[in-house]
């Protein structure tokens, strides 16, 4: 798992500025979870051969008399999820009572904490830092987040104890399809995981391999191997009634990265909420194959069912490529139907098509429906080839492709999806113009 860095401090000390700088690398994915926890942002970044996750915590103003409550609300959760805390203070504003209050909390916390003095640009470093020694959190580290001053050196030092990690991690397929069961708290993930594993003709291999740090549960169903990526900590519990592990966004994001197909669980009783949309959006941005499971379908009134169906249609239109199942994890209803969808999504996500085939589809599409003229010249689309899998990337070559209207791109996407029978995975298109 990536080392997790939490940025903590008063508002305005420069946390978002540092967050943006740290998540600027090419593959950085930022997940925003305003619904889940007011103002907490998650991002991935990379420095040299090391990758990391950063959490921006918004701010602790210290003005409210219950600083504990304010801390508890978001920063404590972030600190809890983090391996490293960067406590940021503002060199220009100097030491502040709120800084002291936060420092008191951090001193009793077991997490490795770095005192970071920001906005030292144009200041004499030594005098800028003098104030902050009294916080009792060790050496202050001067940076200027806005200008990048000392930032790389600091992160390099912060990450020193953590091992390198191969980038571009692609989940291995040799042990079967890796399934991640994800969703916000209480939608029924643990119940579903137990149900999937408890099904007839499922053989769970007891030696849960912990090849990577995410907990993996290998099993076999009808002779086919699968691996469950367990975010709910189901396997570590002795029995089902034992309390589930705390919901962790970091673990959820990690599971999305480490699975081939995500089963996103929604709660028919609780309805659709912001958090569902944000998680789903993250799954799509990650390019993960997806199956939607609307859980707790048992015993619902028909109006409730209609409302849920309508809500899904209206708000989840952007994920309409995913198979949708209405299930009851509790009773096991329709749970077995998830497997064919998982298989189909996996097959689509990892499918390979020849340049010939893709070019033929492109040319058929073009002759059915010509691209428009731009400045009196028709946009030409000549050839298509596959640029990658999981998610499938189709690279289209032609002339003036930069002027291709969105509506035409949608037409092409739909055509390729239909002809190639791609369901359950996002698909990406790249357009290139040649001479």
Whole-angstrom distance, CA of residue 261 vs CA of residue 424: 9
Q: How near is the Cβ of 9 to ligand GDP at its closest, in Å?
A: 6
Token pair 């390198």 is found at: 164
Cβ–Cβ under 8 Å, residues 311 and 175: no
Helix, strand, coil percentages for the chain (3-state, nearest 5): 35, 25, 40
Whole-angstrom distance, CA of residue 42 vs CA of residue 32: 6
Applying CB under 6 A, the site for ligand GDP has a residue count of: 32
* Residue 109, marked binder: no
Strand order in the sheet with 140-142: 30-32, 41-47, 50-56, 4-9, 84-90, 112-118, 140-142
* Residue 12, marked binder: yes
* Residue 189, marked binder: yes
> Is 34 near ligand GDP (CB under 6 A)?
no
- Kindly report the backbone phi and psi dihedral angles of residue 60, in degrees, each rounded to the nearest multiple of 5, phi listed first: -115, 110
Give, as one character, the DSSP assignment of residue 70: H
Whole-angstrom distance, CA of residue 306 vs CA of residue 317: 16
* Residue 58, marked binder: yes
Which of residues 50 and 184 has its CB atom nearest to ligand GDP in the complex?
184
* Residue 186, marked binder: yes
Residue among 51, 190, 248, 252 that touches ligand GDP (CB under 6 A): 190
Q: How near is the Cβ of 120 to ligand GDP at its closest, in Å?
A: 7
Token pair 């920001």 is found at: 118
> Is 252 near ligand GDP (CB under 6 A)?
no
* Residue 244, marked binder: no
Residue among 2, 3, 4, 15 that touches ligand GDP (CB under 6 A): 15
> Is 244 near ligand GDP (CB under 6 A)?
yes
Q: Can you give the C-alpha Rg of the chain in angstroms?
A: 25
Q: How near is the Cβ of 209 to ligand GDP at its closest, in Å?
A: 22
Q: How near is the Cβ of 69 to ligand GDP at its closest, in Å?
A: 19
92 half-sphere exposure, CB direction, 13 A CA radius: 10
> Is 98 near ligand GDP (CB under 6 A)?
no
Interface with ligand GDP by CB under 6 A: which range of 5-13, 26-34, 63-71, 304-312? 5-13
The footprint of ligand GDP on residues 272-331 (CB under 6 A) is 295-296, 298, 328-330
Residue among 146, 208, 374, 420 that touches ligand GDP (CB under 6 A): 146
Beta strands in 109-251 (DSSP E): 112-118, 140-142, 177-182, 202-204, 215-221, 224-230
- Binding-site residue numbers are 9-16, 56-60, 118-121, 183-190, 230-234, 295-298
Using CB under 6 A as the criterion, which residues of the chain lie in contact with ligand GDP when the complex forms? Answer: 9, 11-17, 59, 118-119, 121, 144-147, 183, 185-191, 232, 244, 295-296, 298, 328-330
């Amino acid at each position: 798992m990536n080392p997790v860095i939490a940025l903590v401090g008063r508002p305005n000390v420069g946390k978002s500025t540092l967050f943006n700088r740290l998540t600027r690398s090419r593959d950085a994915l930022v997940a925003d979870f305003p619904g889940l926890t007011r103002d907490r942002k998650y991002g991935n970044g990379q420095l040299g051969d090391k990758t990391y996750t950063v959490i921006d915590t918004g701010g602790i103003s210290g003005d409210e008399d219950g600083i504990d409550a304010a801390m508890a609300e978001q920063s404590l959760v972030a600190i809890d999820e983090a391996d490293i805390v960067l406590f940021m203070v503002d060199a220009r504003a100097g030491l502040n009572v709120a800084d002291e209050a936060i420092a008191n909390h951090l001193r009793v916390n077991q997490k490795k904490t770095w005192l970071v003095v920001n906005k030292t640009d144009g200041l004499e470093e030594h005098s800028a830092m003098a104030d902050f020694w009294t916080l009792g959190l060790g050496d202050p580290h001067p940076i200027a987040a806005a200008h990048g001053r000392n930032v790389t050196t600091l992160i390099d030092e912060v990450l020193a104890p953590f091992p390198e990690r191969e980038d571009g991690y692609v989940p291995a397929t040799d042990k079967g399809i890796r399934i991640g069961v994800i969703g916000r708290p209480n939608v029924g993930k643990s119940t579903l995981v137990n149900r999937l594993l408890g099904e007839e003709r499922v053989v769970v291999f007891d030696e849960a391999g912990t090849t990577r740090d995410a907990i993996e549960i290998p099993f076999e169903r009808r002779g086919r191997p699968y691996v469950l990526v367990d975010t709910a900590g189901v396997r570590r519990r002795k029995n089902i009634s034992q309390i589930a592990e705390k919901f962790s966004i970091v673990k959820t994001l990690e599971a999305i990265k480490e699975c081939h197909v995500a089963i996103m669980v929604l709660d028919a009783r609780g309805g659709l909420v912001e958090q569902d949309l944000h998680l789903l959006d993250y799954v799509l941005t990650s390019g993960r194959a997806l199956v939607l499971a609307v859980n707790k379908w048992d015993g619902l009134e028909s109006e409730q069912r209609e409302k849920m169906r309508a809500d899904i249609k209206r708000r989840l239109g952007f994920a309409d490529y995913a198979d949708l199942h209405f299930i009851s994890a509790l009773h096991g209803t329709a749970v077995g139907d998830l497997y064919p969808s998982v298989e189909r999504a996996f097959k689509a996500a990892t499918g390979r098509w020849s340049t010939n085939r893709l070019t033929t589809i492109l040319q058929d599409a073009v002759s059915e429906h010509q691209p428009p003229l731009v400045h009196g010249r028709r946009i030409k689309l000549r050839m298509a080839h596959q640029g990658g899998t999981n998610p499938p990337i189709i690279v289209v070559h032609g002339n003036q492709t930069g002027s291709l209207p969105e509506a035409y791109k949608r037409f092409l996407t739909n055509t390729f999806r239909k002809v190639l029978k791609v369901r359950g995975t996002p698909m990406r298109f790249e357009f290139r113009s040649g001479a």
